[in-house]
Amino acid sequence: MSRHVNIVVSGRVQGVYFRAFTRRKAKQLDLVGHATNLADGRVEIIAIGDDEAIAQFIIWCRKGPITARVDHIDVNELPANETLHSFEIK
């Protein structure tokens, strides 16, 4: 079953290649979606994949890459309404 989530990551997550590392991890887990810098310094992620892969991805997002400092993440389930074929940086 496919799971669609919106993850918003707060902390030192811009200017530290957070989105690039996020894309790499998403591809390792066969997820599709995108990561976008927000104007307020947070990063928003849309991720779509199987339940286990999404669960592992959320655990990774709570820590992030060594270059980042994650202070908080918000995770919200989304309706299955997007058809994506890769994981992109926006």
Told to judge if 19 belongs to the known catalytic residues of this protein, a careful annotator would answer yes
**Cα separation of 79 and 2, whole Å?**
10
Told to judge if 37 belongs to the known catalytic residues of this protein, a careful annotator would answer yes
Alpha helices in the chain (DSSP H): 18-28, 51-63
Look-up of token digits 């926006």:
90
Q: Read off φ and ψ for residue 66, nearest 5 degrees.
A: -60, -25
Residues in the chain: 90
62, amino acid identity: R
Catalytic residue among 3, 12, 19, 24: 19
Look up residue 74 and give its two tokens.
């918000």
Catalytic residue among 6, 24, 37, 62: 37
Active site residues: 19, 37
